[in-house]
Amino acid sequence: MNLLGDVARWFTDPAHYQGVDAVQTRILEHLEVSGLAVLMGILVALPLGLYLGHTGRFAFVAVNVANIGRAIPSLAAIALAIPIAGTLLGVQNGLGFWPTFLALIPLAVPPILTNAYVAVRGVDRDVIEAARGMGVSEAGILRRIEVPLALPLILAGIRTAAVNVIATATLGALVAFGGLGRYIVDGLALQEYDRLFAGALLVAVLAIAVEVALSTFERAAVSPGIRVQHGAL
Amino acid sequence: MTPGEPLIRWDWIASHLDEFAFRLGEHVELTVIAVGVGFVIAFALSLLILRVPRAEGPITWITGTLYTIPSLALFALLIPYTGLTILTAEIGLVGYTLLIFINNIVRGIRGVPADVREAAVGMGYTPREVLWRIELPLAAAVIIAGTRVATVSTIGLVTVTALIGQGGFGFLILIGLQRFFTTELIAGAVLSVALAVVADALLVMLQRRLTPWAQIA
Amino acid sequence: MNRVIRVAIPFIVAALVASACGGATSGGAKPAITIGSTNFSEQLVLGELYSQILESNGYAVTRKFNLGNREIVFPALQSGQIDMEADYLATLLAFVDKTAKGSTDPKATAATLQNALTPKGVTVLDYAPAVDQNGFVVTKATADKYKLTKLSDVTPIGGQLVLGGPAECPNREFCALGLKNKYGITFKEFKPLDTGGPLTVQALVGGQIDVALLFTSDATIALRGFVLLADDKQLQLSDNVAPVVRNDYLAKAGDDFKKIVNSIAPKLTTAELTGMNKLVEVDKKDPKDVAKEWLKKQGLIK
C-alpha cells in the first residue's frame, strides 16, 4: 500500500497548494467549466424536454437522445471542439476552457432532456384532464401540475448530467484546459502515480459531493407527497 | 488546424475502408467482452443482493463510486499492475457496466408483481424455479433495457482506451488529434456513434422478439 | 454433436502438432516481435520503417504504437511488453542515467548509452545520421518584438514569456530544466500541452504560449514561418535516431535480425526524416504508406 502513503504525502505537501497548479485552483476551474456546462444543458434541454413531454411529440427522439448522448465519444467531442472554438471565438480561445465547455454541453443535454420528457409524460392523464376541465390553461397545467409532479425525475436527470460532466471534464486536460484532469493527464505522462491518484480521488469526491448537494436540494424542493421511487437513468 | 486543410477529405475515407473494418473488429471485441463479463458479474452480485438485502448498500456504493472515477484515471491507475494490455482496458470497462446492470437486474426482478410470485410458490415452484422460470422472463425487458445502456456507454468508453494503447475507433480519434487531421478524427467519432446506434437497434429488436408483451421505448 | 467432435479431434491434434513443430523451426530464426512507439507522428513513421522491413523479411510483427511518452514506453520495453522501439541517443541516455555525460559526438554518446543500457538488458543498435532534437521556437512576431535569434537572447526576458511543451519538460535536462541550468532562463509559466504536436503549435499560434518546444525535424516550423532559436550554448547533444532492442529478443533472433534493422541507419539522414515528417504532418499521408514508399525508394524492400 505504498501508493496510498504517497498519495497522502501528496495531499499534505504545501507546494501543491501554491502556484498555477494548486489544488484549490484546479478544483475551482473544474467546478466552473462543469457548472457552466450543466447550466447550459439545463437552458437548452429543460424547456425543450418539458414542451415535448407536455405535447407528446417526437417521442422516439426524446426518449432515445439519452442513449445516443451516452454514445458520443467525449474524446472526439473535445478534439473536434478545438477547430470549432477556434473558428467561432478566435484562435486565442481555441484551446483550454472554450473547447472543453462546448464539448461538455452535448454531454449534459441528453439526460436532462430525456428525464424531463419521460417525467412529464408520466404524469397521470386523469389529473391533467381534470385540470383542463376546470379551465386551467396549457401553460398553467405545465407549471402547476406537470412540473411539480415531474420534479423528482427532472432533478435526477440534472444529477446524472452533473456527475457525467464532472467526470468527463477531466479530458479537457488533453486540450490544454486546467481542472482536476490536469493531475490525471500529467500524472500519467510523468508516471507520477500519487498525482494521478490524487486527481482521480478529487474528481470522485467532487462528483459525490455535487450529487449529495443536489439530492439535498431535491429533498427540500420536492413536496413530500410526491417523493417517488425512481431508478437511475 | 493546418492551414488549407479541409474538414473532411473524402478520398482518404474511401481509401481507408479496410482500416475502418480492422478498427471495427477491435472495438467490437473490446465491447463484447466488457458487456459479457460485466453482465455475468453483475448477475451474480444481483442474486446476492436479492438474497441478502443488506448487501445492497455496500455493493451499490462500490459500483457507484467506480462510476464516478474518470475513466482515463481508472485505466491509468491499473497500468502498473496489469500493463498496457487488453486486461487493463477490460477491468475498467467491466467496472463501469456493473452499476448499470445491477440497477436494472435488481429493479427488474423486484418489479415482478408479488402475487405472481405467490401464485408460483402456491403451484409448487421451488425458489430456483421461481427465479429462472418466472422472475427472469418477466424482468427480461428491463434487463435488456439495461443492457442497451451498458452497451452504448461501453462503446463510448472504448474510445478512451486508445489513450492507454488500445485500438478501436478511439485510435483514429487520437491519431487524428495528434496529427490535427480532422478527417481521421471525425471518421473515428462518427463510426463510434454509428456502432452504438446499430448495437442499440439490434438490442431493441432482440427485446421485442423475446418480450413482445413489454412496451419499453 | 459427439460425431462432430470425434471427427474434429485428429484435425485439432494435427494443427497443434504442426504449429508446435512450425514454432520450433521458425522460432529459432525469426521469432515474432512486438515493436512499440511513443506518441508523436515521427515515432509512428520510425515504427513503421522497422516493422515493414522486418515483415518483408519474414518476421511476424505486432505493432504497439502510440503508447504514451518515454516514461511509459521505456518501462514497457524493460518489462517485455514490447521488444523494440526507436529512440534518440542523448535524450535516452539522460532518461536512463541522469548523471551520465552525453556529448555532441554521436559515437561517444552511443557508447555511453550502451553502458547505461546493458544493466537493463537492452542493446542499442546502429544509429542513423538523422538527428531530431528539442527545438525552442517562437513566432516571427515574438522574435521581432524581443529581437530573438538565439536562446541566450531569451535569458533576460524569460520571466515575461510562457513556455509550452510536453508534461515532462520541466524535469528534462534537454528541456526547461536545462534551459534554467545552462542558459539561466526562468519562464513566467509552463503549460503542459503535447509532445511537439498540434496542441503546442496551436497554442503558439493562438498566443497562449510564447515559446514552444517543437522537434527540429518537424516540418511545421518552416511551414508556419516560426523562428527556431539557435542553441548557441549547445544544450542539445547528439540525438541521433537509433533502435533499442531487448537482449532476450536478440538472443533468440539470429544475426540476420541485426543486419536487417541496421540496413536502415545509413540511409536515414535528417533531410530524409524531415521529408517523411512533412508527408505525414502536412500532407496527411499515412505513416504506413510514407514508410513503405521510402523503404522502396531506398531499395530496402521490394
- DSSP line for B150-191: HHHHHHHHHGGGGGGT--SHHHHHHHHHHHT-HHHHHHHHHH
Cβ contacts of C75 on chain A, cutoff 8 Å = 191
| Helix A97-121 / helix A74-89 crossing angle, nearest 10 deg | 120
CA atoms within 13 A on the CB side of A33: 30
pLDDT at C26: 44
What is the C-alpha separation between C39 and C114, in angstroms, rounded? Answer: 24
- Greater confidence (C126 vs A217) lies with C126
Instruction: Calculate how close chain B gets to A41, using CA atoms only, in Å.
Output: 19
What average pLDDT does range C155-160 have in this prediction?
92
Q: Is B178–C39 a contact, with Cβ atoms under 8 angstroms apart?
A: yes
In this prediction the ipTM stands at: 0.77
d(CA A210, CA A60): 31
> CA separation (Å) from C281 to A54, B180, B187, C40, C50?
52, 8, 18, 10, 20
Closest partner residue to C67 among B2, B16, B165, by Cβ?
A: B165
State the virtual CA torsion across A19, A192, C207, C184 in degrees, nearest 10: 70
Buried b (16+ CB within 10 A) or exposed e, C243-253: bbbbeebbeeb
Q: What is the crossing angle of helices A59-71 and A97-121, to 10°?
A: 140
Chain B residues with beta carbon closer than 8 angstroms to that of C72: 79, 84
pLDDT of residue C126: 94
The DSSP code for C154 is: G
Cell of B128: 430456483
Between CA B32 and CA B135 the distance in angstroms is: 25
Name the nearest CA neighbour of C241 among C39, C68, C45. C45
CA-wise closest residue to C77 among C30, C37, C24, C47? C37
Q: Are the beta carbons of C244 and C122 closer than 8 angstroms? A: yes
Which residues, numbered 117 to 176 in chain B, qualify as contacts with chain C under a Cβ-Cβ cut-off of 8 Å?
Answer: 162, 164-165, 171, 174-175
Chains interfacing with C (3 or more CB pairs < 8 Å): A, B
What is chain C's mean pLDDT, rounded?
87
Residue from the list A72, A77, A163 with its beta carbon closest to the beta carbon of B68? A163
Count how many Cα atoms sit within 13 Å of the Cα of residue C109 in the half-sphere of its side chain.
24
Q: What is the mean pLDDT of each run of 10 residues along chain A (233 residues)?
A: 83 87 93 96 92 83 76 83 85 88 92 87 84 85 82 88 92 91 90 90 91 86 64 37
pLDDT tens by residue, B91-115: 999 998 998 898 888 888 888 888 8
Please check the confidence at residue C253 and state whether its pLDDT lies above 80. yes
Between C15 and A158, whose confidence is greater? Answer: A158
Per-residue confidence (pLDDT) for residue B2, from 0 to 100: 61
> CA-CA distances (angstroms) from residue C40 to A118, C43, C46, C89, C287?
46, 6, 10, 17, 11
Residues 147-206 of B with CB under 8 A from A: 148-149, 152-153, 155-156, 159-160, 162-163, 169-170, 173-174, 176-177, 182, 185-186, 188-189, 192-193, 196-197, 200
Query: Could you count the other beta carbons within 10 Å of the beta carbon of residue C275?
Result: 14
pLDDT at A177: 92
Question: Which helix (H) or strand (E) is C88 found in, with range?
Answer: strand C84-88
Exposed/middle/buried for residue B212 (C-beta within 10 Å: 0-12, 13-18, 19+): exposed
C contact test, residue of B1, B2, B185 with most C CBs within 10 A: B2
Query: What span, in angstroms and rounded, lies between the C-alpha atoms of C194 and C201?
Result: 9
Residue C203 pLDDT class (50, 70, 90 cuts): very high
Residue C1 has a pLDDT of 47
Q: Report DSSP state, residue C185.
A: -
Mean per-residue pLDDT for C99-113? 88
List the single residue in C75, C167, C208 with the smallest CB-CB distance to A96.
C208
pTM of the model: 0.81
Check if B144 contacts A (Cβ < 8 Å): no
For residue A161, CA distances in Å to A45, A111, A169 come to 11, 6, 12
What local confidence, expressed as pLDDT, does residue C145 receive? Answer: 92
Distance CA C296, CA C302 (A): 6
Q: Which residues contact C120 (CB under 8 A, 6 or more apart)?
A: C78, C96
Residues A227/A152, Cβ–Cβ less than 8 Å: yes
Give residue A1's pLDDT.
Answer: 53
Residue C5: what pLDDT?
53
Q: Does C81 have pLDDT greater than 70?
A: yes
Q: What is the pLDDT of residues C212-249, one digit of tens each?
A: 999 998 888 988 899 999 998 888 888 999 999 999 99
At A39 the pLDDT is 96
**CB-CB neighbors (< 8 A) of B79 in chain C:** 72
> Given pLDDT bands bounded at 50, 70 and 90, which one contains residue C3?
low
Percent of the residues in chain C that have a pLDDT greater than 90, as a whole number: 63
Least confident of A140-154, C162-176, C252-266: A140-154
User: Does C284 contact B83 at a Cβ distance shorter than 8 Å?
Assistant: no
pLDDT score for B65 = 79
Q: Please answer yes or no on whether C206 and A182 come within 8 Å at the CB atom.
A: no
Ranges of residues in chain B with a pLDDT under 70 are: 1-4, 214-217
Cα end-to-end span (Å), chain B: 41
